Structure 1
Amino acid sequence: MGANEKLIQSVESWRNIVEINAKNDTLNAFADAIVSSSPDIDKTSGWALGAAGAIAGLIITNIDKLAKFFDIAEIKILLVALIISILCGLAQKLLASLCAVHLKVKEVTSVKLKEILTVFESSESSITEMATEHKLDIVVEFDIEAVMQRFVEISPFYIKWLIKKESYKSMADPEYSPKKVLATFYRQNLWVFLQTISFVSFIMFSVLFL
């Protein structure tokens, strides 16, 4: 293989890596943009969750008074509808927390790494310039994989297992991260939908039983 062919092969490999990274970064950006609405959905669900909890408490504390207007079976149905709504609200809140953690960690990591790399590149440039000027055999390298490996080592054992598991899946499938966070977000929406249906059912049953 000639020098020209080797150069073409190297450039093509570089091009392929750049294209793959651009596609993956764009996919992650789309996923994060959609998931960014998770806190707003959680806030709306939180209002319904609070209302359902307050109403359930009022029904339980005033069950003797409500017995004058509703049968015991009807009161049980109303409470079941509220309890289902509350459980769905709690389930969505857990998933909303996972989405919030994903976005926060990604945001902080991105900002911090940008600051670190800016300082490193500036220092690297100065050291390289001085080494070249004085003909010193000095190379400055930043091995982020070694840093990540050290991070895993200093983590608790159960976090080590989780990080290794997630890292393996991410390496096997570059789209694993956006797929996972989107699945979490859509499950959150499903629980919000079920929460809404249960709460609306409570209102409808209340009207029908009167």
Structure 2
Amino acid sequence: MASKAIIFGFLIVTCVVAVFASDPNHLQDLCVADPNNTVKVNGVVCKDPKVVTADDFFFSGLDKVGNTSNPVGSRVSPVNVVQVPGLNTLGISLARVDYAPWGINPPHTHPRATEILTVLEGTLLVGFVTSNTENRLFTKVLEKGDVFVFPIGLVHFQQNIGHGPAVALAALSSQNPGVITIANAVFGSKPDISTDILAKAFQTDKSIIAGIQAKF
């Protein structure tokens, strides 16, 4: 009997953790974001429903090719609560990702969302790494129509390994998933992280670290 009680208690705790691991549920039909409101909350303050229009739930332009003329050869075009205020409290968002030939979407994390990626055109090498207990790398080559999931918070990446442009559509389980690009955060922080700290972390010389920081 005691073992059943323990198992039941564990299930309750698991359910509670799952609830707190995603965006809060909405408590009304809609809560369109009011970007002009100066009040700060965990999310965005709701606009007066009387002034909400269909345009608050609309976005146009996801068919436009992103400019991949940059050092990494990719461009992310987000569709989150900033672009669509009607997404506020709904816990979902999208992004289009364009890749030049051999371009990458560099290793990064989404602190608030799981991502499901669908390849629309081209061939992508994708992967993610588990946390420090194992640091296990999962990779897969995706073709048009293939889907891959990146669990919340884990470092992941994509690379176009085809000879032409590639396009993918990412769906994320947050209205504002956030993104932390590892290289940008480590080498492009403001102010800089000490070269001594980074040299020890990456087991290299401070001059090498300084050279990398200069690129960011």
Common fold: TM-score over 0.5: no
TM-score tier by shorter-chain length is: under 0.3
TM-score in terms of structure 1 length: 0.20
For normalisation by structure 2, the TM-score amounts to: 0.20
* Larger proportion of strand: 2
Looking at secondary structure, tell me which structure has more helix per residue. 1
Larger radius of gyration: 1
Higher relative contact order (CA 8 A, sep 6+): 1
